């Protein structure tokens, strides 16, 4: 490994953040797709606005963003297209907004999925994070509302969290713009494959469940060695999810890593129109 000597300033993430170019609605010739997920009312739209420079209306109530909003930004010589997904508590796809979010993360195959998390309600928010981690390992957790956590006397150890989850965790106060440079840095690293997440996988403890999941996961891994989310697919099949069976049949889940950008953006269009 060769290291170029950099001067002190260049090693600081803030240095690169100065290179953030908010592109607003200009999403032409993007190199990477970034999805923005999270529970309702955790500040997703605020993060979205901070990165794209758009002023999507933010409001202090759950369920404000029901359809997808899109915008662009440029950072470190790459152009990113950012998609703000509806806020959901889970990805089990029981309502339309959960389905929109899940389908995008699954079929839209974003290069990075930012999960915005409310630091004051970590336990409930992690439910969604764990479900996203089952689908993709290209995840950055934005630990938002750190100021509110502090006000309530809650301390969150983001390093511990990052170690447990196996992905980047960035503490933020998005409303004030704190943590944006660090978030960009993490997003850039994941998008450019500089770091590869080793995501936490849920342990299914109930004996029957464990047996079934292990068996089907094994079969899937044998048949589709390149699939990054075999355990999740196994669960969906065990749940009798026809949509996933269909996707597997068509090879839509096949190679999440090699999809070429044209084809994927065509796919984004299809999902968007549904």
Partner 1 sequence: MTTKNTRPLENILSTAQSLRWEIGVDFHEKVTESIYTDAAKIADRATTRPEEKPRFDFDKKLDQILTSRIWGFPLMLALLMIVFWLTISGANVPSSMLATLLLDNIHPLLKGFAANIGMPWWLDGFLFDGVYMATAWVISVMLPPMAIFFPLFTLLEDFGYLPRVAFNLDNMFRKSGAHGKQALSMTMGFGCNAAGVVATRIIDSPRERLIAIITNNFALCNGRWPTQILIASLFIGALVPAQLAGLVSSMAVVGIALLGVFLTFVSSKFLSKTWLKGEVSTFSLELPPYRPPRIWQTIYTSLIDRTFIILWRAIIFAIPAGAVLWLSANITIAGTSLAGYLINFLNPFGLLLGLNGVILVAFIVAIPANEIVVPTIMMLTVLVTGAGGGEGAGVMFELESGMETMALFQAGGWTLLTAVNLMLFSLIHNPCSTTIYTIYKETGSKKWTWVASLAPVLMGFAVTFVVAQFWRLVTSVF
Binding site for partner 1 (CB under 8 A): 40-41, 55, 57-63, 66-67, 86, 90, 92, 94-97, 120, 122-124, 126-127, 129-131, 148, 152-158, 160-161, 164-165, 175, 200, 202-206, 208-209, 211-212, 215-216, 219-220, 222-224, 234-235, 237-240, 245, 248-251, 254
CA 145 → CA 96, 135, 153, 161, 172, distances in Å?
27, 25, 13, 16, 6
Q: What's the min distance (Å) between Cβ of 256 and partner 1?
A: 14
Place of tokens 């959901």: 88
> Cβ–Cβ contacts within 10 Å for residue 120, how many?
18
Tokens of 13: 């993430």
Q: What's the min distance (Å) between Cβ of 260 and partner 1?
A: 15
- Nearest residue (CB) to partner 1, 75 versus 217: 217
Q: What's the min distance (Å) between Cβ of 17 and partner 1?
A: 21
Residue 204 CA to residue 211 CA, distance in Å, equals 9
- Nearest residue (CB) to partner 1, 12 versus 224: 224
Residue 35 CA to residue 24 CA, distance in Å, equals 16
- Nearest residue (CB) to partner 1, 187 versus 237: 237
Q: What's the min distance (Å) between Cβ of 273 and partner 1?
A: 11
Helix (H, G, I), strand (E, B) or coil at 45: helix
Q: What's the min distance (Å) between Cβ of 5 and partner 1?
A: 36
Residue 48 CA to residue 144 CA, distance in Å, equals 13
């Amino acid at each position: 490994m060769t290291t170029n000597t950099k001067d002190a300033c260049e090693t600081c993430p803030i240095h690169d953040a100065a290179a953030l170019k908010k592109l607003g609605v200009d999403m032409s010739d993007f190199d990477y797709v970034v999805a923005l997920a999270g529970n309702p009312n955790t500040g997703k739209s605020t993060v979205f606005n901070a990165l794209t420079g758009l002023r999507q209306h933010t409001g202090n109530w759950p369920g404000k963003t029901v359809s997808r909003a899109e915008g662009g930004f440029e950072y470190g010589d790459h152009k990113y297209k950012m998609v703000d997904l509806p806020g959901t508590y889970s990805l089990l796809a029981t309502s339309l907004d959960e389905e929109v979010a899940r389908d995008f993360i699954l079929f839209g195959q974003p290069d990075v999925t930012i999960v915005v998390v409310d630091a004051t309600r970590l336990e409930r928010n992690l439910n969604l994070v764990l479900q996203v981690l089952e689908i993709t390992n290209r995840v950055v957790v934005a630990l938002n509302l750190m100021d509110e956590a502090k006000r309530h006397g809650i301390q969150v150890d983001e390093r511990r969290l990052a170690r447990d989850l196996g992905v980047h965790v960035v503490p933020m106060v998005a409303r004030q713009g704190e943590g944006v440079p660090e978030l960009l840095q993490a997003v850039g690293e994941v998008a450019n494959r500089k770091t590869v997440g080793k995501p936490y996988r849920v342990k299914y403890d109930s004996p029957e469940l464990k047996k079934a999941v292990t068996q089907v996961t094994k079969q899937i891994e044998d048949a589709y060695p390149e699939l990054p989310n075999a355990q999740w697919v196994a669960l969906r099949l065990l749940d009798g999810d026809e949509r996933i069976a269909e996707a597997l049949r068509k090879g839509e889940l096949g190679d999440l890593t090699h999809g070429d950008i044209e084809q994927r953006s065509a796919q984004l269009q299809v999902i968007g129109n549904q």
